[in-house]
A and B are shown apart, each in its own frame.
Chain A
Amino acid sequence: MDLLKLFKPDDFTLLAIILGAPLAGAFFNGVFGKRVGKNGVRLISMAAMLVSFFAAVLTFFALSQHRHNVHEEFEKTGVKGGAEPVSKLAWLAWQWMSMATGQSDGRLSIDVKFSVDELSAVMMLVITGIGTLIHLYSTSYMAKDRSYHRFFAYLNLFVFSMLVLVLADNMPLLFVGWEGVGACSYLLIGFWFDKEANASAGRKAFIANRVGDVGMIGGMLVIAHYCGALDWSGIAQNVEKLVLHGGQPERIILWQREAGPFSLSPATIAALALFLGCTGKSAQIPLYVWLPDAMAGPTPVSALIHAATMVTSGLYLICRLNFLFVYSPFTMAIIACVGAATALFAATIALVQNDIKKVLAYSTVSQLGFMFLGVGVGAFNLGFFHVVTHAFFKACLFLGAGCVIHAMHARIHDDDKSQDMRFMGGLRKYMPWTFYSMGAATLAIAGMPFTSGFFSKDGILYHVFVNRVVNPVVIEPMAMMRKMEEQRQVFTGPEHDMLARRIAQYWQAPNWLGPVLFCVGILAATMTAFYMFRLLFRTFWGEFKGWKVAPEAALRANPMENLEPLVDEPEAHLDAHGAHGDDHDDHSHDDHGHDDSPGEAPAEAPWPMAIPVAILGLLALFGGFLLAEPLHIEPLGKWLEPIFGDVMQHKDVAGLLSGFVHMRAGAAALEWPLMVPGVLAFAVGSGAAYYLYVHERGIHLPGTLMDAYPGLHKAALNKWYVDEAYEATIIGGTDALADGAALMDVWVVDGIIAKLTSAVVTGIGAILRTFQTGVVHVYGAFIAVGLLGIFFFFGQPHPNVATHKEGDTFTLEAAPGLGYEYRWTIDEGAPEPAFTTGEKATTRTIQLKKGEEKYVTLEVKNAFGRTAQKIVHIANPAPPPPPSSSMKPVGVPPFKPRPKGAQ
């Protein structure tokens, strides 16, 4: 392709356009946006995104071509069985810095270098593609906002930061994007910052991410120390140094115990630290708390955060460093466990939420849990695939929810209530496009067979069941042991024991872990199906309940207690607000309006909002065929093979295992059977939702259940009180620490140190102030006095001699001065005939025997003809004297002045 002639693979400047367009858009909208008006802002931001997307597509094709070229070249010239070179398009923007590494004598260079390979190409397409759709959507959604230009400036900047994160060629640069994404999320979540809740949600997101960043930086430092590199290929080459050091296991001793030191391998520490960073960005336990609150931002922002940017960055990092993570099966197991726990935990909360965006938020947390579960068991390609499919259906759901909120808000004019599902219902009639799109996305997320969510989620669950992560270090001994057992039938003996000991040095996940996590995943999937259909049914089925909401009807203090019956028992509501006929009358209000229901009937959103939702709905339905493992349609899997292939090869080459992620025996046979629980989860979840929310008719099962277990419901509705627990423990602890520090500050620093300091300064100042009369003449007098002193000093000659001893040679050096002339007299000898100046005059060299001493007189005459003299005593101490003569003190001779005036 011509593109590769235009842009060299190692200087692929097209990346600058991908990155530069959103940045330029952000800059332009931020600086001039107010002046060019909303149309101008719309034009600029959409143009920036389209240019970026177009360039990304070109880059994708160029990469594909480049990969083909590299492959052909390798086939022609390469060594059979050798490693295929990576195909990567890189652009070095700036050689940033370079420093010595701690480990070797190599240099660690950190450049502003961007590169695109198969993994980042997919991410790049998702970010720019879905980003473009969300931008298009936002142009309409935010049309009435005062800060239109600010919104689009942030949005463009967000996309730029995420692209930096994805395209970065090394960890520090990735961290720049990582932080940029955090800052942009802060700005966008708190976009309507005049509301306290929004501003504090932004702060919460920022601070939770800060906690994760500690891990991120720590992991980076560990990698830099042990690998001596921070760019991807450098880490990949040196990754073994994180586990092995000269053939021996490398350990970091955390603390000493009686039973030997407690130690971890650097790989585990680095991977755990990086995973902490990922829990922050990708909203996993324990740092997920910011994501539900992030709903405070405008809905397109939620879509952007949840689908295209931000939360995927943690997953991206793990996929990017998959070769590092497999070196720590312990961390992998932790990741899988945390993922499963998050998936289940968030799903339980999502079951009972009433706010449509809150449900989606917890669903995101839950789905992210699935992704982590996937990568945690080594199914990197499926975990990453779930990122992509999730981007499709979650963006669709959020944008659809935005349409719904938009329509509701046009009627209710209340920010909180227009998001409350209890006031929705029956919207199917009014917003068919939105309904079909969201329905498609719901099917996908719930795991309806052959939709995108089905392939990704059930693929993950299948691998959870069958996968085993093996530390690459023990692959060889394991293979040897296996060979031994198979060929020689040796099951014990010294050799076998040695191999077993070597294997036992490294941790391996227990066998029961996979099935347990599988069960948890199935449970979470069931709940997912349930709450998603609950959302769909309550929003689009039944009667529209928004008619009965008067804008002035104040939401009571505890919405959970007071408003829940309002939906389930409409009669109660009618009693409270006066009769308006029965429910079924509501359709008639379409035409002539309603007394306490000002505003129009909910209507379909304008096309810039409806079209992205529809496109995303289609993608959600059919995107699964990018990686349909059971059907062996895997274009994405093939595409990503160079990234994950080394790690995930399940082949058994010549009796030696290769690849670090293994499958149980008979895994292939389990592929279809293991799909059954997944499909069952979908069926049970959606069926239950249908039964409870559509089919019911007077049963009021939700209400009954709620009455039966009020505490449970309340706890789930309040997110299991995690925020409160954090408030009480971590935030409270920090507060207490701050209080202690404040006391310290008030009493010790301010009370003692500051007062003492100020007293000293005041005292000295009181003395010095008397000199500062402010009258020029007094200062002049001081100058005159100083001048006198200087004149006096320079008027006198100052003979100073420095003595250097070197063996028996003494060198005397006279200090220089203004116009000095020197005359030396050595030990009563004849004085030199005249005063001399110059270099020769200032030094004299004297040889002294052991135990000898001499007096040297130096006379100095200055420029004004004054003379002064100095007598120097030099002595060469005798060698340690024999005991008989030790009575006489050596080196302290009696003072013997030289007779004066012998000129």
Chain B
Amino acid sequence: MMDFWLERIYFGVCAAMAIAGAIGTVAFPNPIRGAMSLLFTIVAIAGMYLQLHAPFLAAIQLIVYAGAVVVLFLFVIMLIGPAATATRDARGLLARAIGGLAASAVSLQIILVLSRKVFARVPVAQGGFGSIESIGDLLFGEYLVPFEISSFLLMIAIVGAVAVARGKQPDPQLADEGETKAPKPTAEAHP
């Protein structure tokens, strides 16, 4: 009985945190606060994973999202600086209304569909369900090829991110030649 209530309270706290964090992410004008709220949501969802017998995913969620993605967001916000907080951030009233309508319609439909009784069953989980061993078996067995491909994808993403973020750098060789041809006037001005 105690367990029953504990679980309900735990779920309630997690759900509230997740929803509040999501609202915060979307609503805070300052993206730093948004990122922190996103962190909230992510941690809460990791909590729910635990409740759903998915400890491995919970760990991954914390490591990848909280540890890497949110930190990356923060880095970029810092890099951009004050300009990251754009003025007149939200769209016009009409656009906001339409967007809200569309989003809530989607949301409503999802909720309507998902909340049907069909899914209400909660079967007893077997002993190994959701354990790290069984997931590891799958990832290095049945799903080995997709797993390796995803590693490849990540590498491409790294290279792509570096290439995109660097932008067009002046070729150092060319710059050197340019310097030799036309020595900087400043060098003469300040011997």
Contact = CB atoms under 8 A, between A and B. Distances in A.
Q: In the complex, are there CB atoms of A and B closer than 8 Å?
A: yes
Interface of A: 777, 781, 784-785, 787-788, 791-792, 795, 863-865
Contacts of B109: 788, 791-792, 795
Contact of B113 (A781, A784, A787, A795): A795
Interface stretch (B91-99, B124-132, B155-163): B91-99
B170 to A, nearest CB: 30
Nearest to A791: B109
A777 B117 CA distance: 35
B52 interface: no
B91 A777 contact: yes
Contacts of B106: 784, 787-788, 791
A864 B113 contact: yes
Given A788-B109, A792-B109, A781 B116 contact: no
B132 to A, nearest CB: 31
Interface string B70-93: 000000000000000000000100
Contact of A777 (B99, B105, B110, B116): B99
A251 B118 CA distance: 81
Contacts of B110: 791
Greatest chain B CB density within 10 A among A777, A787, A788, A864 is at: A864
A791 B113 contact: yes
Nearest to B105: A788
Contacts of A863: 118
A865 B105 contact: no
A863 B117 CA distance: 11
B98 A781 contact: yes
A283 B95 CA distance: 80
Contacts of B98: 781
Contacts of B116: 864-865
A836 to B, nearest CB: 16
B118 A865 contact: yes
B139 interface: no
A781 B91 contact: no
Given A791-B110, A864-B113, A864-B116, A781 B99 contact: yes
A783 to B, nearest CB: 9
Contacts of A864: 113, 116, 118
B64 interface: no
A793 to B, nearest CB: 11
B103 interface: yes
A795 B108 CA distance: 13
Contacts, number: 30
B63 interface: no
Given A791-B109, A795-B113, A781 B102 contact: yes
A736 to B, nearest CB: 55
A784 B118 contact: no
11 contacts: A781-B99, A784-B103, A784-B105, A784-B106, A788-B106, A791-B106, A791-B109, A791-B110, A791-B113, A792-B109, A863-B118
Contact of B117 (A784, A791, A865): A865
A515 B116 CA distance: 108
Given A777-B95, A788-B109, 13 more contacts: A777-B91, A777-B99, A781-B98, A784-B106, A787-B106, A788-B102, A788-B106, A791-B109, A791-B113, A795-B109, A864-B116, A864-B118, A865-B117
A785 B102 contact: yes
A791 B95 CA distance: 23
Contacts of B91: 777
A96 B118 CA distance: 64
Contacts of B118: 863-865
A717 B139 CA distance: 90
User: Would you list the 5 A-B pairs with minimal beta carbon distance, nearest first?
Assistant: A784-B102, A791-B109, A865-B118, A864-B116, A865-B116
A371 B151 CA distance: 74
A684 B45 CA distance: 114
Nearest to B114: A864
Q: Please indicate which of the listed interface residues B98, B110, B113, B116 has the most CB atoms of chain A within 10 Å of its own CB.
A: B113
Contacts of A784: 102-103, 105-106
A864 B111 CA distance: 12
Contacts of B99: 777, 781
B69 to A, nearest CB: 20
A777 B94 CA distance: 13
Contacts of B103: 784
Interface in B113-144: 113, 116-118
A527 B127 CA distance: 111
A860 to B, nearest CB: 15
Contacts of B113: 791, 795, 864
Contacts of A792: 109
Contacts of A781: 98-99, 102
A784 B101 CA distance: 10
A445 to B, nearest CB: 65
Nearest to A819: B118
A777 B116 CA distance: 31
A790 to B, nearest CB: 10
A787 B108 CA distance: 12
A788 B95 CA distance: 18
A682 B34 CA distance: 108
A784, A792, A863 interface centre (most CB from chain B within 10 Å)? A784
A792 B113 CA distance: 10
Contacts of A777: 91, 95, 99
